[in-house]
Structure 1
Amino acid sequence: MRKIQTLTFVSLFISLLSFSLSTQAQNTPFGKVDSLIQPGKYNVWGYAFMDFYYKSHADTAGSWGGGAYHGRGGSNQYTGVPNQHSSFQSRRIYLGFDYTLSKHFQTEFLLADEDNFNTATGSPAVPNGDLLANGKSSFYLKLANVRWHNIWNGTDLVFGQQATPSFPLLTEVVWGYRSIERTVSDIRRTPSYDFGVGLNGIFDPKTRNFGYDLLVANGSSAKPVAYTNNFKWFYGDIWAKLLNKHLLLDLYADYYRYNWTPTWHHSRQMIKGYVAYTTPKLTVGVEGFINTLKADAIQTPTAGAVDTANAVAQALSVYVRGSIYKDKLGFFVRMDSYNPNKNLTSSNVTNYTKSVGNTSNYYEQANGNQDNVHETFVTAGIDFTPIKQVHIMPNVWYDHYHTMGNPTPDNHDLVWRMTFYYIYGK
């Protein structure tokens, strides 16, 4: 009897720590909302990305200082990993739970153990990312919200820690290979989740061809907002599916104030466009953004003159993925181009420095203070799927660095990986 009670308790405990990806899917343009509106329904869910990698070439620029590696790759996961280093690693493990309270109310929770940055061999022993003080991996609460389904026809209201409209609800879904790499806006630290109130809506509930997503949130992701910060992050996008739902269009924008004093108006404002053509055999996608960081730099155009200047980042991502053999073998190829500040030229690059007091949590330039480093990222690989829930993907990860107006020669990071992606409880 005691054994039965123990097993029952363990089962309930696991259920209360689990989250269903299908709940997230219902909020995208591809989800089937009505299929989940069953009071009392819950779903145990999770997945993991794991690799064996070998770094065959490392960028030689950069140095350790202040407990962190200052390299041209910034916070990219292989920045600072030494040449010819190999390792087994996990980059993401999910565990969560969703529960349907009634016909109109649902809850979702997600625990995440994700990759840790700047802890390569030879680096200072400073915990970072999701590591505990003793250096072990840990889970943190990534999603926790309640959804009011159909608060009005075709629109859900969501309150709590939730996915933002930036990429998780659409562009990441269509890219389909988050297990290989983030989308281009995700790499540049646009928040994928935040705490606030949002609307996920469909303009045409019957055909589900046109919709929108809006969110007002703290801008602090999983961290409690500081009492000294009273600004909110505003997110929004509109999307359309045309040509019998094969052509996908998405327009996204966000705005956030970092610092706002009588003498310094410092803010972030992104505009992002996305277009993809998708079929069961082949998908082609193009995503690009312009991100304006107002008064983000100090400019010295002439001797003795000092003024604030905008930093305007640009990125373009192009990818192709498709099927080689139905449900068993596929491929993917992607290339990103990133310019952290189009206002910088070879002639004026020495006149720009960072604004004093720039303490933004989501600083768009992933390579820190190096606004003159242009990056070209490439990944490609094969997706072998022995069963639906398991993907085995040999792939290459390459990032090329060009420092404008600087004698530092071009160089790159090159990593060869065997990635394992598996899904459970789905």
Structure 2
Amino acid sequence: MYKNVSNQHIIGVILLFSSCFLTVTAKAQATIENSQINYANADIKSAKKSNQPTDPSTITVKPSETDTSWKPVRRLWGYAFGDLYYDAHADAGNRGPETNYNGVPTYRNAFQFRRIYLGYEYDINKKFTAEVLLASEPSANTAVSGTTSISGSDNLADNKMAFYIKNVDLRWHGVWTGTDFVIGEMLTPGFPMLTEKIWGYRAIERTVADFHRTNAYDIGASLQGVFDPATKNFGYNILIANNSAGSSASLGSATNPATGFYKAFYGDVYAKFLNQTLIFDLYADYMKTAPATSAIGGQSRSMLKGFAAYTTPKITFGIEAYTQKFVNGVSDATTKTSVNATAEAISLYAHGALYKDKWGFFARYDGYNPDNDFNASDVYTSNTNLPAYSPYTKEHFVTAGLDFTPAKNIHFMPNVWFIQYKDERAPTTTGYLPDSHVLVYRATFFFIFGK
């Protein structure tokens, strides 16, 4: 019965079948291509809608918007240091409230952490970074056997170590070329930004200005930058803040005239020469405070500090000196007046390598005079809001030791810590204390993680 079917009919069926097959194949190919390519223009999208095959040479691929050159920081870091110490001699007058061994009895020995840092840095984007730093810096335990006394500083009532918030700030990178804007609670320009790094042995002792309690951190706003972004040899740091680190009282408290009414002004400039081996730094600050009493009058304190160092991987020499003026800082009981006091200090140190990168040494001397106009025949009382300040006592501080580094960021440092106290009052003056000293032998450990 198929004999009547003509060749023309057969050819027509074949052509129709072939046309359908090619159409389906073209649609499938267009679907596959469209699923793999991100189209970026309307013409291509129109072709998609019309289900027409597209010439691959006409396809525009949208470029990636991700900046692969920038890698955000999400960093948890910290460090800790402490000692096994032996207090070979204590000062009978219990002077030096700014020191770690104030009140520690003779022959006390103990393991002790003196600082634990835990920090976190978070890059919000390319322009903004947030920083949080927790710190625990407990003093040595001063309790005598059989008493209920506990150590002070960053310890809880049950004598457990506690953290406090030391830094919380937001950094705006490159607010203009070479300069960052920082707002929050941060390190001041006083010493942590430069001179403490060059001294390099904060685990042994603070720099001389820090030792006598110049503000190490404060709450405010800062500009930190360089005058030459390409080489970074000349820089500056200015800060306007609350002076809240000068007292333990809360911000704006009636018992704390240092904060809530006036502001502290800090400024620092530095220069690096000879391939950054010769460094000079000049620092100044000024902070006005409300008078302690109406009879005293307006009070303020200000510091001018200079620093110079020669530093290389093999050897470093440094000298730091400051003068600090306390306006109406002391009352003279003899003249019945409030007078200014000017404290002066100098620090000389050296540190360097002894054997490869495993052994090093350090040595330092500080001299401190709390009032260069002190009259031994008069009786003075302090009016400053610095609890560690006393107009009576000159100090000579010495430390020296070895630095064993078995691995990067791990240090074991046997050292000697010594401070001598000399009362400037006449021996017949009420309250006079004979010369004395504190001598401590220590095996200090220091380790860094996350950096």
Identity %: 46
**Residue correspondence of structure 1 range 282-301 to structure 2 within 5 A:** 282-300=315-333
CA distance in 2, matches of 1:351, 1:409: 17
CA distance in 1, matches of 2:424, 2:134: 41
CA distance in 1, matches of 2:364, 2:340: 30
Higher normalized contact order (CA 8 Å, seq sep 6+, divided by chain length): 1
Q: List 4+ stretches of structure 1 deviating above 4 A.
A: 260-263
379, 382, 385: which is aligned to 1:354?
Answer: 382
CA contact (8 A) 1:291 1:314 kept: yes
CA contact (8 A) 1:392 1:421 kept: yes
- Name the stretch that deviates more: 264-273 or 291-300: 291-300
Q: Secondary structure at the match of 2:121?
A: strand
CA distance 1:38–1:113, change in 2 (3 Å) = farther
* 1:149 CA drift (Å): 0.5
Aligned match of 1:3: none
* 1:103 CA drift (Å): 1.2
Q: Secondary structure at the match of 1:174?
A: helix
**Residue correspondence of structure 1 range 143-292 to structure 2 within 5 A:** 143-221=167-245, 224-228=250-254, 229-260=260-291, 264-292=297-325
Task: Give the AA of the match of 1:165.
Answer: P
CA distance in 2, matches of 1:268, 1:118: 32
CA distance in 2, matches of 1:314, 1:82: 29
* 1:117 CA drift (Å): 5.9
Q: Secondary structure at the match of 1:186?
A: helix
* 1:133 CA drift (Å): 2.1
CA distance in 2, matches of 1:204, 1:47: 32
CA contact (8 A) 1:75 1:117 kept: no
CA distance in 1, matches of 2:109, 2:101: 11
* 1:179 CA drift (Å): 0.4
- Name the stretch that deviates more: 213-222 or 184-193: 213-222
CA distance 1:422–1:126, change in 2 (3 Å) = closer
Structure 1 residues without counterparts, runs of 5 or longer: 1-36, 63-70
- Name the stretch that deviates more: 118-127 or 207-216: 118-127
CA distance in 1, matches of 2:88, 2:152: 25
TM-score normalised over the length of structure 2? 0.78
For residues 375-416 of structure 1, the C-alpha deviation after alignment (integer angstroms, 9 at most, x for no partner) is 000000000000012100000000011112343322110000
Aligned match of 2:35: none
The Cα RMSD (Å) is: 1.9
TM-score normalised over the length of structure 1? 0.82
State the structure with more CA Rg.
2
For residues 339-369 of structure 1, the C-alpha deviation after alignment (integer angstroms, 9 at most, x for no partner) is 11111033x3x332233xx5x2x45xx3x4x
For residues 264-320 of structure 1, the C-alpha deviation after alignment (integer angstroms, 9 at most, x for no partner) is 11111011110001011000000011010100111245xxx4211011111000000
Aligned match of 1:45: 77
Aligned match of 2:444: 419
* 1:118 CA drift (Å): 7.0
Task: Give the AA of the match of 1:322.
Answer: G
CA distance in 2, matches of 1:38, 1:91: 37
Aligned match of 2:360: 330
CA contact (8 A) 1:77 1:118 kept: no
Task: Give the AA of the match of 1:226.
Answer: G
